Structure 1
Amino acid sequence: MTSQPQGDIMDLLREGLQHDPVAKSLIALAHEGRQRFWVEDGLLYTKGDDSTCLSGGT
């Protein structure tokens, strides 16, 4: 069983994405449907076997 982050940590991830130029570029491409990423509730996710959330600084 995996745990899902809730509350404040999700807000911190959203905030970090706004300051990361690479993440901002990927978010733009995801909105265009041109990458293996999607944006959900302000967070950037990648398609694949694992649930991965990209945050600023990682």
Structure 2
Amino acid sequence: MAARGSSAGPVSAISSSIQDRTKKLGKVVDNINRRFGPDTVSFGHSKPHYGFFEKG
């Protein structure tokens, strides 16, 4: 019987793959923003937050 945690199972392989893809995506976003200006591309949905009296 193998000891727990002694081998990388399918879950850790998937997790590792997702981390690798996330790092690559981050580098791509950084390169685009460096080339075309800050906040050209960002993660997720984000809109400017307006104050209580401002309407946007």
TM-score by length of 2: 0.33
Structure number with greater Rg is 2
TM-score by length of 1: 0.32
Structure with greater helix percent = 2
Comparing both chains, which one has the higher relative contact order based on Cα–Cα distances under 8 Å and sequence gaps of 6 or more? Answer: 1
Structure with greater strand percent = 1
